[in-house]
Structure 1
């Protein structure tokens, strides 16, 4: 069979442009929309970054539906699939991903759209269940407290020693120490279980401590 005959049979005689399985299309797009909303809910519930982006969460839903649509389109015949790949290959995305976990949600949305477009609903549901359990176990439950950066201004070296003693058995790490004349600025990363911020009041009541500032930090504590 020549290339011309192959293209003619694939495009003109395949019926791809005249026959549509409407129930299959509606079912696939509906499933991708529902699973996209599920991914949106999981992302919103377990987000642990600094600023929650609702537009990114909505993008996850749209990514599921659009990927499903592309999968349905390229599943008709090989010519359309090659043309779609060529068209999408020229697209470049330059938006920086700030949180590595966002990549997980992006690939989850893309693969969900592909599997639902291919009619693999059981696979999409199973993957959604496994990923949700994984996020709940390894990402959400490990953070039973909050991490803060305590910026403390004080005078005299013995005051710094008293501040360290006040922290006691709390998990902490001295991030920086800046000397400005008679005043010292110390930044300490502190892990607080159950939002117990009483240590800040104790430090503020120390002699020669000028002020204490607590800043919530979304990093991870190791140690």
Structure 2
């Protein structure tokens, strides 16, 4: 059979489904739903951002199922596949992705839906397990550590050195230092284990220290 005959048969094929086709569609959509729920649970457990977005988590499940549906549709008929390409090419998404890791979950959901729609269940399961292991490994490296930005207002030239001495062996980095008439504002990024904020009381009790403000930072940061 030539390529021309294959294309002709695809254009002329009916839209009716056999019992085998219906069973295959049901299994593929069910597999996509289970994979989407698995990705949803991973995102919910390992989310480390500032504000958890439930709508984004639900989007992951819907994205997996819809991608599977599109894959099933375009694999059955050339006309549908060309129509899907034309329709999806004009779609523009305006929602900004704030956390780069969210792109990983979106792409994971899309690829899981494609593999489920193509019937490659073993590939989808293996890749999902590998992704889970990767996330666990990198998450364990940062678990137990919190990043705080301490904003301290003080007077006196020697007070700044005393503040840094009170941090002891904690990892810190001076982010900014603003000098005013008689007052200095210093912002320090501090890495804290198990949220142990013992240094806060010590710095506050120092002479010439007016106040200290701690701001927890859960975003992306670079180590020292």
Question: Corresponding residue for 1:222?
Answer: 223
What SS does structure 2 have at the residue aligned with 1:157? coil
Q: For 1:144 and 1:107, how far apart are their aligned partners in 2?
A: 28
Runs of 4+ in 1 over 4 A off after TM superposition: 5-8
Aligned 1:40-119 pairs, distance under 5 A: 40-119=40-119
Question: Corresponding residue for 1:168?
Answer: 168
What SS does structure 2 have at the residue aligned with 1:175? strand
Q: For 1:54 and 1:142, how far apart are their aligned partners in 2?
A: 23
Deviation of the 1:9 alpha carbon? 2.2
Question: Corresponding residue for 1:30?
Answer: 30
**Pair 1:51–1:2, CA change in 2 (3 A):** closer
Mean alpha-carbon deviation: is it higher for 105-114 or for 81-90?
81-90
Deviation string 1:55-90 (CA, Å, 9 cap, x unpaired) is 111100000000000001011022221221111111
Q: For 2:35 and 2:6, how far apart are their aligned partners in 1?
A: 38
User: Which residues of structure 1 form unaligned runs of 5+?
Assistant: none
Q: Is the 8 A contact 1:44 1:57 kept in 2?
A: yes
Q: Is the 8 A contact 2:7 2:78 kept in 1?
A: no
**Pair 1:40–1:222, CA change in 2 (3 A):** same
User: Which residues of structure 2 form unaligned runs of 5+?
Assistant: none
The yes-or-no answer on 1:206 pairing with 2:209 is no
Deviation string 1:23-67 (CA, Å, 9 cap, x unpaired) is 111111111111101101111111111111111111000000000
Deviation string 1:125-168 (CA, Å, 9 cap, x unpaired) is 00010000001102343333101000111111111111011112
What SS does structure 2 have at the residue aligned with 1:141? helix
Q: Is the 8 A contact 1:191 1:221 kept in 2?
A: no
Q: For 2:39 and 2:6, how far apart are their aligned partners in 1?
A: 41
What SS does structure 1 have at the residue aligned with 2:206? coil
Please, what TM-score do these two structures have when normalized by structure 2?
A: 0.93
What SS does structure 1 have at the residue aligned with 2:142? coil
Question: What is the number of residues matched between the two proteins?
Answer: 220
**Pair 1:118–1:6, CA change in 2 (3 A):** closer
Aligned-pair RMSD on alpha carbons?
1.7
What SS does structure 2 have at the residue aligned with 1:105? helix
Deviation string 1:79-103 (CA, Å, 9 cap, x unpaired) is 2212211111111112211111111
